[in-house]
Structure formats: structure tokens, C-alpha cells
């Protein structure tokens, strides 16, 4: 028997599906970043971990600059977490439940 409870249906459509969309987008965007990480890391070779990568945002927006060591740590984070997300047994379910069910 199908569930037609309007509260449950609304929660699925307004909470669960958008969350799945964000999760899928995180994987897709992270994959793109991970693909470019080796080039970024190669450009940082020879720089000390405490050197700041100045993008002008600290002065303009109050957002602190990232250091070389932090950039390396973020690249490692992607390398560690992306396979766990992509290969998780429930990731196909996340993709299926998205607002827009596109093939990726």
C-alpha cells in the first residue's frame, strides 16, 4: 500500500530530495576539484606550508587566506573522502532520489 500522508510526501519532496541533490552535487564538484588538485599541488611545490595564498579576500571580506599547508590538507581530504562517497553502497540511492534525476 503506497504512503500518501501529505506530511511525509512533503518532507520527501522538500527536505530529502534537495538534500540528495546537494549530496550528489558535492560528489560531482569534488570530483572536478580532485582532478585539478595535482596541478595545484605541483604549483605549490617548493613553498613552505606556512606561506599564505593571498587572494585579497581577507582585506575585502574578512575571509582569511589559505596557507600552502592548508591547501595540501584540503587536497588530501578530497583524496580520502571522495572515494568513500562515490563508492558508498547508498550513493546510487542518493542519485535516484535527487530532484533532477540525471545520469552521471
Domains of the chain, by residue range, sit at 6-97
pLDDT for 55-93, tens place per residue?
999 989 999 999 999 999 999 998 899 999 999 999 999
pLDDT of residue 33: 86
What does the alpha-carbon distance between residue 30 and residue 35 come to, in Å, rounded to a whole number?
A: 8
Q: What average pLDDT does this structure show over 21-36?
A: 91
pLDDT of residue 50: 97
Q: What average pLDDT does this structure show over 88-101?
A: 90
Instruction: Answer whether 35's CB lies under 8 Å from 82's CB.
Output: no
Select from 103, 90, 95, 53 the least CA-distant residue to 73: 53
Amino acid at each position: 500500500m503506497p504512503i500518501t500522508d501529505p506530511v511525509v510526501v512533503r518532507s520527501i519532496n522538500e527536505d530529502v530530495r534537495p538534500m540528495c541533490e546537494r549530496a550528489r552535487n558535492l560528489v560531482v564538484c569534488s570530483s572536478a576539484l580532485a582532478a585539478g588538485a595535482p596541478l595545484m599541488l605541483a604549483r605549490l611545490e617548493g613553498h613552505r606550508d606556512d606561506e599564505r595564498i593571498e587572494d585579497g579576500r581577507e582585506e575585502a571580506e574578512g575571509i582569511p587566506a589559505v596557507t600552502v599547508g592548508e591547501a595540501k590538507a584540503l587536497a588530501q581530504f578530497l583524496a580520502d573522502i571522495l572515494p568513500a562517497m562515490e563508492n558508498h553502497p547508498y550513493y546510487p540511492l542518493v542519485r535516484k532520489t535527487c530532484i533532477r534525476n540525471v545520469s552521471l
